[in-house]
Structure 1
Amino acid sequence: MIDCKINAMVLLTISIAFICDAKTSRCHYNLNRVKQLVAHCENQGFTLVPRNLNNTIQELDLSNNMIKTLENGTFENYSILEVLILNHNRISEVHIHAFVGLPYLKVLKIRDNFINITKLSTRVFSPLVNLTTLDIGRNAEQSPVNKSFVYPDKTFAALKRLQFLSLDLFMFPEFGDGFRSLQFITVLNFDRYEIIESTQNFSLDLNNNALVCSCTTLDFLLWLTKTPVSFVNGNTYTCTMSNNSQVNLMEVTKDIKRYFADCNATVWLRIGIVLISCIVSVSIPLSIVYYYRWKIILFMFRKFRRAVERGLHVNYEYDVYVSYEERSITWIKNNLLPKTEQEWGLKIC
């Protein structure tokens, strides 16, 4: 009886191991443009991060799975990983040591999940000493109504080499002194914002900001026109236009149509360029096929003939049989025979 139980336990263990291996085997590998090994594990239904992948991978894509928790030591086996993509999962819990063992990680994308950044440990990003890109936008709803949203500056302060940061922008945001340590930031992207139209007056401090008035910041400028905002230093703020000229910010917001009339034109220009590129990319191959159409037809004919000969166990001496009347013999000798036998390489009977 004991032996039966032991055998059953062994069989169960083997079955579980087989199931796990079957899941991870659905990941496939390739080399990226710089010859780094990439593991593609997207859309595989994983509920946990697989830990038995090839440990020499430098990029891991786990997008569109059902992962809910990043446990401590989840990525310890992938010590040379440089790019980690966890977009479109159900992650709501990130343990304090989840990213331990990733000293070379440069890119972390964890957007479209359920992470509340205010609940992240202040040490969760500490192991990521070489991280340059962090995309943690489009996550859980975190903004208290009509209250300031204080960003967890100490959590992000550990990322000394960060250059690109994508966050959600909430109503009445407050950024602490910890963000001052991010001295290499070149792009701060607010992918989703909850700055809503408000009937309440509130002040906006834009000191020491290099404001740019362009098509990319048009949404922010439109918000200024719809929301009762008072600036801390009055209406003295200026912004840089696309021609590098300095214009008073309030003047720009009062005449949006005049300053940004070409924004829609730019969009249509991009659409036109894409359409032309698609037409060119399709027409060139079609032109090549049309130009060589006879050679392609002859190539297919020879393939078909060989298949027929093998099937019938015969070897035909001629390729073409021509039936004609006496009035056509001159055209056949002067035109058809040279074209068929000399140019096309077919033998006429």
Structure 2
Amino acid sequence: MDMNLLIFHGLVLVCISIALQKSFVIGVGELLDPSLIDHKGKRCHTTRESSLLAANCPEANLEDVPQNLNSGIQILDLTRNRLSDIRNNSFSRYTSLQYLDLGDNFLQTIEEGAFDPLQQLIALDLTKTRSHTLPRSLFSLPNLQRLFLENNKLTDSVFKTKVTAPLTLLRAPKNMLTKIPQFGPFPSLAYMNLSENSIEKISIDDFAPFCNLLTLDLSKNPISFDSSNCDCQILKAWAKEHNMTVKPTFNCENSPYVNCFPVKFSNKTMTLFRDCEEMLRIRIEIEKARSTWILVVSCLSVALVCLALVLYCFHRRNKMRNRKLKKAQQLAASNANTELLNGNVKEET
């Protein structure tokens, strides 16, 4: 009996030892394989944010954009990872993305067509990505409204491009800019932050192409105005006339040799502004025409559906009427046969 008990205890100890060893091996495997790490913030997880499908992957040690996420995601957070290259196929399966955050990565390369699949993109955050350049096609995305480029190494050449994206907000503080971006007529832009750059000189012609600009932040730039001209007074007068808030508030001290009042805007300035207004007018007309066509097509679709329903009702009613008529004819024929049969029987009797 004692021997059996001893054997039983021995077997129990062996099983416990094997279980502990297996658990230790699994634990080491999880430590060695980052894809198995499951504690909060260390792997992608999908949630719903304001009815939008979101994939959150912050601080997941990712070196590439993951390709195993739900292809229908609308929000993607890839902040604080180890991404270095964004290639043309990086987002090709995520065409529903509306909000993309790539902040705090080290993006050495962004290929020219990297963002082309993101035709639904509304906001893009490239804050603190050490980027030197941006693909020019980025500024042509048809729905891009907000662009965050803070704390990078972008130079003036990056912004020498035509913008067709409907950007309303552009944040590019803490870069290497020496002048206001030369976008040309830009009617959608309402907020622009270029603080903490290296901009030394500005003039009213830099802002005239932004005919809807409401807030301009130039704080902590080494800006100075030549006291021999009226650039400072003209800028303040322009801001006041167009309800534009400019930071910082420049102190325009008149030179004793220059009379800046009344302030007059040059023909070049007004031409730049009117070109922007004309582009805005064309966009509004295009939107109105599009809305009108959508309304017309919608009305025609409704009319066709109603017509189809009416025809279907008529068809159904005629079908039911024919069916009733056929049944009545069959019943009449059956009654006639019955009467004939009864008459024959009477004659035989």
For normalisation by structure 2, the TM-score amounts to 0.50
Paired AA for residue 88 in structure 1: D
Q: Aligned runs of 1:149-228 on 2, under 5 Å?
A: 149-154=156-161, 157-159=163-165, 161-168=166-173, 170=176, 172-173=178-179, 175-176=181-182, 178-180=183-185, 182-195=186-199, 204-207=202-205, 208=208, 219=219, 223-224=222-223
- Tell me which residue corresponds to 1:90: 106
RMSD: 4.1
Residues in 1 aligned to 2:217 and 2:148: alpha-carbon distance in whole angstroms = 19
1:86 Cα deviation after fit: 0.4
Of 89, 96, 115 in structure 1, the residue corresponding to residue 131 of structure 2 is 115
- Tell me which residue corresponds to 1:200: none
Identity %: 21
Higher helix share: 2
Paired AA for residue 203 in structure 2: D
Check the 8 A contact 2:107/2:131 in 1, yes or no. yes
Three-state SS of the structure 1 residue aligned to 2:219 is helix
1:211 Cα deviation after fit: 12
Q: Mind listing any 5+ residue stretches in structure 1 that lack a counterpart?
A: 1-14, 143-148, 197-202, 255-349
Q: Number of residues paired by the alignment?
A: 213
> Structure 1 pair 114/219, CA: closer, same or farther in 2 (3 Å)?
closer
Is 1:40 matched up with 2:56? yes
Check the 8 A contact 1:211/1:239 in 2, yes or no. no
Residues in 1 aligned to 2:199 and 2:181: alpha-carbon distance in whole angstroms = 15
1:104 Cα deviation after fit: 0.8
**CA-to-partner distance for each residue in 1:307-333, whole Å, 9 max, x for gaps?**
xxxxxxxxxxxxxxxxxxxxxxxxxxx
Three-state SS of the structure 2 residue aligned to 1:193 is coil
1:113 Cα deviation after fit: 1.1
**CA-to-partner distance for each residue in 1:257-299, whole Å, 9 max, x for gaps?**
xxxxxxxxxxxxxxxxxxxxxxxxxxxxxxxxxxxxxxxxxxx
Of 113, 127, 152 in structure 2, the residue corresponding to residue 139 of structure 1 is 152
- Tell me which residue corresponds to 1:63: 79
Of 25, 48, 55 in structure 2, the residue corresponding to residue 31 of structure 1 is 48
**CA-to-partner distance for each residue in 1:223-246, whole Å, 9 max, x for gaps?**
55x7767656574443657xx799
> Structure 1 pair 20/77, CA: closer, same or farther in 2 (3 Å)?
farther
> Structure 1 pair 230/175, CA: closer, same or farther in 2 (3 Å)?
farther
Three-state SS of the structure 2 residue aligned to 1:123 is helix
Residues in 2 aligned to 1:113 and 1:139: alpha-carbon distance in whole angstroms = 6
> Structure 1 pair 157/51, CA: closer, same or farther in 2 (3 Å)?
same
Three-state SS of the structure 2 residue aligned to 1:63 is coil
Residues in 1 aligned to 2:120 and 2:68: alpha-carbon distance in whole angstroms = 19
> Structure 1 pair 234/67, CA: closer, same or farther in 2 (3 Å)?
closer
Q: Aligned runs of 1:237-316 on 2, under 5 Å?
A: 237=235, 238=237, 252-253=251-252
1:38 Cα deviation after fit: 1.1
Q: Mind listing any 5+ residue stretches in structure 2 that lack a counterpart?
A: 1-28, 254-349
1:123 Cα deviation after fit: 2.9
Residues in 1 aligned to 2:119 and 2:99: alpha-carbon distance in whole angstroms = 11
Paired AA for residue 219 in structure 2: D
